[in-house]
Chain A
Amino acid sequence: MTVLDAPAPHAAPRAPADARTALRLYRAMVVGRAFDRTATAFTRQGRLAVYPSSRGQEACQTGSVLALRPTDWIFPTYRESVALLTRGIPAEDVLTLFRGDRHCGYDPAAHRTAPQCTPLATQCLHAAGLADAARMRGDDVVALAYIGDGATSEGDFHEAVNYAAVRRAPVVFFVQNNQYAISVPIAKQTAARSLADKAPGYGATGVQVDGNDALAVHAAVTEAARRARAGAGPTLIEAMTYRLEAHTNADDDTRYRSADEVAAWSAKDPVARLERTLLDDGVLDAAAVAETAASADALTAALRRDFAEPPRRDPMEMLRHVYHQPPHHLREQAALLAGAADEADGADGDGAAAARGGEHR
């Protein structure tokens, strides 16, 4: 395990993960990589509206999720597809948002996973609030909020860290410093020596970790969660990593970074790196590598099959869940949508009744 050189108090713990954890991490990373490749292929086939790739950030996403308990909550952004998959959310549901049939493709309560957040840094406050609520209830629950390096410039991030520190809320703020916010490099984002440095000012703990080392990430998050549970308050983890693909498939990264830079980071590929480490340590053998590859293939084959089905499109869906009881103007619009435009003037066209029926089903 590698921990980046950083002065105290940033040094991440070096507790070595056991072989079983290491294998789980390896498997999640290989599967995550294959999933990401398939999703990227879907964008080329026009089957996804957009996809922000996780390629290069698999160690961050699997290492963090697997360090938590299933009862802990995570607050992902659009970037965290591999984290969602590692949480056990079905592959097709992970992609629902990007296919464009729904804003959230899974049941957040069932997976203890907030909807993927697009407005930057806003989820940090939700995580702080949920963690604080759990603390007040006396529940042993930790919340982990994912955030990008760029989004640490937003006011909401600072408000969340400050709030959580004051309230000793059991939160982990997990920054994936992938070096760019779309086109803007970290040097234009902050003049601080590190993002982890921001924590002490709020009375939170700051840790910097090699984000391409899954074992190091796992250890750092395990320790941060332990401290949170022990009432020691929030930890801000800065995981140093790199996004190997463009920001999304719609972005042209050649405008703002060089092929050399991408190649240099490709050489630090977190998936290949863990595989090498585990082979060297004898935790992994060729048979296990082949078996893991086969299960990744099975997952992507199933995903391609599921994606061959036409997506769900029920226009009534968008009206059904705006309020507990649809107000009359929404019932009129339901009638309009149902094609009963002529009745839309009265509150009780067929379509409106149907919409109400739908609400109470």
Chain B
Amino acid sequence: MTPPTVTLAKALNTALRHAMREDDRTLVLGEDVGTLGGVFRVTDGLTEEFGEERCFDTPLAESAIIGTAVGMAMYGYRPVVEMQFDAFAYPAFEQLVSHVAKFRSRTRGALPLPLTVRIPYGGGIGGVEHHSDSSEIYYMATPGLTVVTPATVADAYSLLRRSIASPDPVVFLEPKRLYWQKDEVALPVDTGPLGWAAIRRPGTDATLVTYGPTLPVALAAAEAAAEHGRSLEVVDLRTLSPFDEDTVAASVRRTGRAVVVHEAHGFAGPGAEIAARITERCFYHLEAPVRRVTGLDVPYPAPLLEGHYLPDVGRILDAVERLEWPATPRTSGAAA
């Protein structure tokens, strides 16, 4: 029998439901998460099943949502909070950076915070201003936070379960434009622990390192490259911090070339860190400098212009072509 078809949003919803069923310390709070079921319906039906004390609408105050969740976590609950959109999490930044990230180390392990902060992020859905930020670098730059972002339906379920179960605070970034992506998956499913990357497509000539919203773009680029005789390996990071250096380095050592692809800004963006680590680990294996294909270094543009902002297949293929190839392209399998 084929497994049922599930959207990524539904997989997240199911993960919350299962986590709440298994552990009554799990709470869901945020703006519009109750009656409405969240603006993306990720919390749909949770208040119905678990009641107002386990899934509830808070006053409209992000700093309060995360700050009170800190107190709840201190008292033994496992709160899962929803920030409605990427740019609306900024009012809570103080709580996240000054407290959530630092509680374990400040208290020398006495008060770890098992708290999950879900944030829909990224563009590509025609949203107006402040609804399309790629804010991962702010969280990645904060020691103490685990930063996770699924790109597949199975990972959406599994990584959210793993995040809620984590003894550390997790910033769980949900790529908005993948919410309606469907796959055939039987839930529950376990795709492994946090901190591990996945190879989504094997290849031999170059490695595309990506995550979240740009995974499908990178896969499409690899498909297009294959038609021109280039075999691209696609690595999906899944967890941005901690960063899975081993999987990435092993891949780049095999292929000798790397392009980091993400939607966030390029300047001082995630790709800078990733490229630096690849260079450190793979210097003698690299045939070319690591390239980056990223969103532009501008405030996220108005919806009618976002197509020019977002990395697309063409930009990825351009970057791949500039990886200092020998005059005759290597054939598949030639790279060792």
Contacts and interface: CB of A to CB of B under 8 A. Distances in A.
B303 A100 contact: yes
B57 A101 contact: no
A168 to B, nearest CB: 27
Contact of A155 (B61, B128, B129): B61
B309 interface: yes
Given A156-B91, A182-B32, A311 B304 contact: yes
B60 A50 contact: no
A319 B304 contact: no
A100 B88 CA distance: 20
B171 to A, nearest CB: 19
B88 A153 contact: no
Nearest to A97: B128
Contact of A154 (B35, B60, B304): B60
Interface stretch (B194-202, B206-214, B246-254, B293-301): B293-301
A155 B59 CA distance: 11
Interface in A317-353: 317-319, 322, 329-330, 333, 336-337, 341, 345
A50 B128 contact: yes
A242 interface: no
A188 interface: yes
A319 B296 CA distance: 9
Contacts of A156: 91
B39 interface: yes
Interface residues of A, number: 43
A184 B305 contact: no
Interface size class of B (residues with CB under 8 A): 35 or more
A255 B37 contact: yes
B57, B61, B299: residue with the most chain A Cβ atoms closer than 10 Å = B61
A190 B37 contact: no
A151 B61 CA distance: 8
Contacts of A255: 35-37
Contacts of A101: 302, 304-305
Contacts of B64: 153, 155
Interface string B122-142: 000011111100000000000
A119 B90 contact: yes
Contacts of A318: 296, 298-299, 301-302, 305, 308-309
Interface string A95-122: 0011111110000000000000011100
Interface in B18-68: 31-32, 34-37, 39, 57, 59-64
A190 B59 contact: yes
A317 B59 CA distance: 38
B289 to A, nearest CB: 10
Given A50-B128, A100-B126, A119-B88, A341 B60 contact: no
Contact of A118 (B91, B129, B296): B129
B165 interface: no
Contacts of A315: 305, 308
Given A100-B302, A313-B305, A337-B308, A183 B128 contact: no
A186 to B, nearest CB: 10
Contacts of A184: 31-32, 34-35, 57, 60
B217 interface: no
B83 to A, nearest CB: 12
A190 to B, nearest CB: 7
Given A100-B302, A183-B35, A188 B59 contact: yes
A118 to B, nearest CB: 4
A270 interface: no
A49 interface: yes
A184 B87 CA distance: 20
A118 B91 CA distance: 13
B315 to A, nearest CB: 8
A311 to B, nearest CB: 6
A144 to B, nearest CB: 21
A98 B128 contact: yes
A303 interface: no
A150 interface: yes
Interface of B: 31-32, 34-37, 39, 57, 59-64, 87-88, 90-91, 126-131, 266-267, 296-299, 301-305, 308-309, 315, 318, 322
Q: Which 9 A-B pairs have CB atoms at the shortest separation, nearest pair first?
A: A100-B303, A183-B36, A153-B59, A315-B308, A318-B301, A150-B60, A153-B60, A100-B304, A118-B130
Interface of A: 49-50, 78, 97-103, 118-120, 150-151, 153-156, 181-184, 188-190, 251, 255-256, 311, 313, 315, 317-319, 322, 329-330, 333, 336-337, 341, 345
